[in-house]
């Protein structure tokens, strides 16, 4: 129960978890009830949105990518960015060599 005393990276409060479910409470308050057929879909999207937020990733980009796994999307995206950096670097070297 007092693990946070010996580990600085563990928060002493539960604010992160409470903030994560805040959107659910707001939606329930707005709709008046939360027992319809759309609830599982809403919860799934909320879960993905929160996961993207905690991983500093764009929720919209993830949805538009049509990827089903955030980890795979993240690794594909990193590989793509690496390829772009290599291409840009290579292109810049070619331009510098042609100017000489």
Residues 6+ away with beta carbon under 8 Å from 12:
4
Report how far residue 66's alpha carbon sits from residue 62's, in angstroms, rounded to the nearest whole number.
Answer: 7
Domain count, the chain: 2
- Phi, psi for residue 21 in degrees, rounded to 5: -95, 0
- Same domain for 37 and 72? no
pLDDT value at residue 40 = 78
Structure pTM? 0.50
Same domain for 3 and 50? Answer: yes
Query: Do 31 and 80 belong together in one domain?
Result: no
The residues, ordered by sequence, that sit 6+ positions from 4 with a Cβ below 8 Å of its Cβ are 10, 11, 12
The verdict on 2 and 43 lying in the same domain is: yes
Structural domain for 83, as ranges: 68-100
Is residue 24's pLDDT more than 70?
Answer: yes
**Sign of the dihedral defined by the CA atoms of residues 44, 45, 46, 52, in that order:** positive
Residues 49 and 95 in one domain: no
pLDDT band at 63 (very low <50, low <70, confident <90, very high): confident
The 8-class DSSP code of residue 100 comes to -
Q: How confident is the model at residue 99, as a pLDDT?
A: 56
| Residues 49 and 76 reside in one and the same domain | no
Mean per-residue pLDDT for 24-36?
73
């Amino acid at each position: 129960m007092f693990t946070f005393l010996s580990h600085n990276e563990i928060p002493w409060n539960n604010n992160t978890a409470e903030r994560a479910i805040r959107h659910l409470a707001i939606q329930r308050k707005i709709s008046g009830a939360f027992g319809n057929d759309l609830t599982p879909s809403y919860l799934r999207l909320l879960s993905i949105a929160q996961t993207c937020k905690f991983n500093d990733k764009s929720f919209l980009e993830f949805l538009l990518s049509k990827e089903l796994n955030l980890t795979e999307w993240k690794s594909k995206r990193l590989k793509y960015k690496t390829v772009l950096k290599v291409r840009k670097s290579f292109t810049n070297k070619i331009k510098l060599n042609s100017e000489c």
